[in-house]
Structure formats: structure tokens, C-alpha cells
Copies of this chain bind each other. A is one copy, B any other.
Amino acid sequence: MPGNRATQDLFLEAFDHAPSRELAPGEVLIAAGAPADQVFNILGGMLMMSRTGRDGRRQVLSFLFRDNFVGLTATDHYHFTDEAVTPARVAWIPREAFDARLASDPAAERTFLNMVFRVLEDMLDEVYSLGQRTALERLAVFLLYLRHWRRQTEGPADDADPALNDVALPMTREDIADFLGLQKETVSRSFRQLEERGLISRTGPSAVRVLDLAGLRDVAGTLDFTSPGRPAAARTASAAGRA
């Protein structure tokens, strides 16, 4: 659920005077199966949305950041679980109020529609990653994704700002693994491999520093896509990337 506040305050304003709630890490905000009667907006912190199969296999579907909505669905019950990764604060309004807002304000509804589209397009990227990329590539993409979101969330600092290269990893290795469709051991080994290649350094279990951004983007694979039938001309290796 991307986008910066400037283009979105059409709705976010609806939460300005809404009640809010603090979540502790690991706290479940929405359990799969619960009735979908509220809509939440993240004021701060990180949440995680996941789906768990009967046999216990879990897929983390996305990590959620400030100004992302939580709890939206077309159905009247949630199919997913949303829980806090870091301490987080969420504001909430009743679903009817949210729906009424959209119904009475066509501009808001339009903006909202575009947000949902952007979420959908992010999910299509995720499908590409899971279907086509290797473990190492997925992890590289993931680190760039976290960096991207920190930039988005902490205000649009210059992309070259060296502070952006310190990437916090507040989630566990298992959370990362379940997001990337891997096992936690494979995630560990992939971190080591990125480190051995000099692209990152592990500054602790829950933080890494990006040492070679261009190199990391290289491993992630250029994030733009071509049409079949016109195979793009080869490019200098570390060009492109869109984060």
C-alpha cells in the first residue's frame, strides 16, 4: 500500500481524529476469520500480513508501514492475519464510516481505487519474485524494498543519503523466510553470501548496512521488464533498478 502522503491525504485525513491504539511487537491486530468491521491506518511502526495453511505453512504477504491501510477486504471477514512487527500505532474507524466516506466523496473513492491498484501491482512484483527469482535475488530485492520503504516513510531524503544504507530488520529470519518463500537457514546463508560478495555487512542480527547499492541492485536484477519478442538490448551490468 504505497504512495506518499501528498497524494493521499484525501483519506488519511479521515483518520485524523479517530481513536488509535498502541500495539506491542507480535500483537495480532486482526486474526484470520474475524469479521471485517473496522479499517485501520498505520500511524507508525511496522506490521505484517500473513496467511497460514491448515498444515502450518505460512506465507507472509506483505510488510506494512506508515499510512498503509490494514483490514481492507472485499468480503465481510478477513482472510489474513495482521500483526505488529515493531511497536506500532494504528488509528481505526468503523468500516461503515470508511465506506460512507468513499460513497459520499467521489474524489476520495477514485484516489482509493488508485491505491488499491498500486497494492495490486506490488503483489504482481511479488509473484514474479517468488516464481522466477533465486534465493539470493529475492533477498537482495527484499533489502531494497525495506530501504525503499524507510525512505518513503521517514520523508523523502535524497536516494543517495548514506543514512538510508543502514537497513533495520525488525522481523525474525523466519518472517523473512516466509515472506520470500524460503527457509530461515537459507535466509541466513543468503545474507552471508551477500556479505562475502561485499555488498552488505551484518551490523547485528537485526540490521545490515548496504555497502554497494549498485551491486545489490545488480543481484536483485533490474526491476524493469520488457515485452517478449523484443528482448531488450544488453545493458551495462549495474544500470537500472527502480527503488
Contact = CB atoms under 8 A, between A and B. Distances in A.
B228 A58 contact: yes
Contact of A127 (B31, B114, B126, B226): B126
Interface string A22-65: 00000010011100000000000000001111111111010000
Contacts of A131: 59, 130, 178-181
A54 B225 contact: yes
A48 B53 CA distance: 28
Interface stretch (A86-94, A105-113, A147-155, A188-196): A105-113
Contacts of A121: 73-75, 79
Interface residues of A, number: 60
B103 A110 contact: yes
Number of copies: 2
Interface string A99-140: 000110010011011101111110110111011100000000
A231 interface: yes
A79 to B, nearest CB: 6
A131 B106 CA distance: 37
Contacts of A103: 106, 110
Interface of A: 28, 31-33, 50-59, 61, 72-75, 79-81, 102-103, 106, 109-110, 112-114, 116-121, 123-124, 126-128, 130-132, 178-181, 221-222, 224-232, 235
Given A52-B225, A54-B231, A61-B127, 12 more contacts: A31-B229, A33-B226, A53-B221, A53-B222, A58-B228, A73-B117, A109-B113, A123-B124, A126-B127, A127-B127, A127-B130, A130-B131
